[in-house]
Amino acid sequence: NASMNTYPKENIFTKTSSNMPKNVKSVKRDVLESNKQCYTKPRLLIMSDSHGKNLSNIIQQKTNMNVTAVVRSGAMLSGVVREVNELTLGYNQNDFVLVIGGTNNVEGTSVKDVLNDFGTLLEMTKNTNLIVASLPMRHDKPNLDDKISLINEQLINRIKSAATNIRLLELHLLPRDLYTRQGMHFNRKGKRKIGEEVLRLLRDCCFNHAAITKKKISQPSPEYPVIIVEEDMNTVIHKLRDQNKIAFAHCISADFHSNRHMSAGVATTFKKHFNTPLASEFVSERLTYQLLNGTSVYGLVTKPTYNSKPTVQDYDTAFKNLTQHIKQRELSLLVCSPMGCVRDNIPLELFITKLYQLHLNTSVKIMVVVSDEHSTRVLRNGLTYLDFVKGLRSQLEIMVRKDSTENFSSDKTSLQGSTTNLCCSDIETTLEGPTTSMDDQLHSPTGTPVSSLLNCLISDSEVQGFTTPIVTKPQCPLDLINSLHDQSQNPNLNLPSNSDEVKNFMSEPTKIT
């Protein structure tokens, strides 16, 4: 079951499944077989009632662990963990079991019996790490709150007095807006929040953080100018706007008078924050430039209408215009979406190539912001989000391994007058088979994960550690970048010790050897 290295195996059973014994037997075989094949990576087994549905997919996208899930909708706690002994054969202190259950016990089971089931679970998982979820509140039946609170209080006391291999996932603290309107189950935002909390617990109780999160990035001797950050563009704009050394960029269509203009994808976020560009803000036929309260915003006009696709020639021209305009400004960082790669079928190699050409001709550093957009239409050229991010990583890896002088000197010359000969036939995709990311290949000499720039795009109180930087200079939280902005207003402000690294990233030209 080699596919489990990439995608979680989530097995969902309903309470009335007539073939449950056969399915469970199959699950056992799959899990035990994967345990044999994937022993080099930590394992996470999720055993849950309906609260854990789709949780494995959220966690797998953010971790290097092998994630397997057994979800029994409507099951009591005893049914959720029925096969925990068999499914954790071979598990050790590098592996984890996450149990989310007990909600379906609340109405018909005594507090004592529920706690006895939890006690049995604690005894059965002494050979590995256990994460136990508290019972979430029942907003559909508020009369159960007192009973739930009593169960949680006693469960927390038991965990505090238990072995050190047990952690508590505090679902009872999640606010009402993370639940569905009905009030019993968590909504999509709630599931993401639970995923974030699980990842935090995994990092907190694991010495080898690189084995948990996708950050096994060494510090190579050359310095690289491009990073990928997995985050919502709305959050990034909110954090980084109004800084005159930072610019934002995305692709738009030329039909400005259409009511469908900038009506889908990341363009809607740009429209919300910066409005639609005006006619006076056209720098050229293929580029718009807005300057709003110190924030620079570029629109690469790559296609004639919202429902058409860009040509390679128009895409190339837009990037040339962007390069020429950035040369006239003193920018340190360009924040962009995967321009044209999500909805307009631009090959990943072409996009990454253009980014590197842009950097080499301007010395600006580049942050590519990606998030898992959902739509009824085909996105990312048919790739899953996970494969899409891996594809970006793969192309970045190829680029940073090239000798920049030999491979890009002709591109520098072309921007001064000649035409770049790029066409679709020149672009060889590398996504037909499994891609190898920098995460899988680069490790620090000591085995210790090395911090990278912008490891945490947002604060600890939100989703710290969920970004996925690629190869670049040493990283640091966003508050250091904010500190630099503050220091420009207050020279006496004391910055954190590694703020020099941020200054270097934001202001110094990158040298690629």
Quick one: DSSP state of residue 294?
Answer: T
Q: What is the 8-class DSSP label of residue 170?
A: -
What is the residue whose two structure tokens read 């079951």?
Answer: 1
pTM of the model: 0.44
What pLDDT does 368 receive? Answer: 92
pLDDT at 76: 93
CA distances from residue 25 to 53, 70, 103, 158, 477 in whole angstroms, order as listed: 20, 12, 25, 32, 46
- From its phi and psi, is residue 381 left (phi > 0), alpha (psi between -120 and 50) or beta? left
pLDDT in tens, the chain (513 residues): 333 333 455 665 544 443 344 455 555 666 656 555 545 678 899 999 999 998 988 888 887 788 889 999 999 999 999 889 889 888 888 889 999 999 999 998 999 999 999 998 988 888 889 999 999 999 999 999 999 999 999 999 888 887 668 889 999 999 999 999 999 999 999 999 999 899 888 876 654 444 555 543 332 233 567 888 888 898 888 888 878 889 999 999 999 888 888 888 899 999 989 999 998 999 999 999 999 888 899 999 999 998 899 999 999 999 999 999 999 888 889 999 999 999 999 999 999 999 988 988 998 899 999 988 877 788 888 888 888 998 998 888 888 777 454 544 544 444 443 333 333 333 232 223 333 333 333 222 222 222 333 333 323 323 333 333 333 333 333 443 444 444 444 444 333 333 344 444 444 443 333
Alpha helices per DSSP H over 184-311: 188-204, 209-212, 233-240, 266-274
d(CA 223, CA 149): 52
CA distance 201 to 401: 35
- The pLDDT, as a whole number, for residue 223 is 53
Residue among 407, 417, 406, 319 at smallest CA distance from 366: 319
Strand runs labelled E in 211-272? 226-230, 246-253
- Angular region, 306: left φ>0, alpha ψ -120 to 50, beta rest: alpha
DSSP class of 50: G
The total number of residues shown for the chain amounts to: 513
Domain range summary for the chain, segments of one domain joined by +: 2-212, 226-441
> Of the CATH numbers 3.40.50.1110, 3.40.50.10860, 3.40.50.720, 3.30.465.10, which one belongs to the domain with range 2-212?
3.40.50.1110
Which two three-digit tokens encode residue 424? Answer: 């679709």
Q: Please give the full DSSP string across 453-490, using - where no structure is assigned.
A: TTS-SS-TTS-TT-----S-S----HHHHHHHHHHHH-
- Could you tell me the CATH superfamily of domain 226-441? Leucine Aminopeptidase, subunit E, domain 1 (3.40.220.10)
Cβ–Cβ < 8 Å for 365, 510? yes
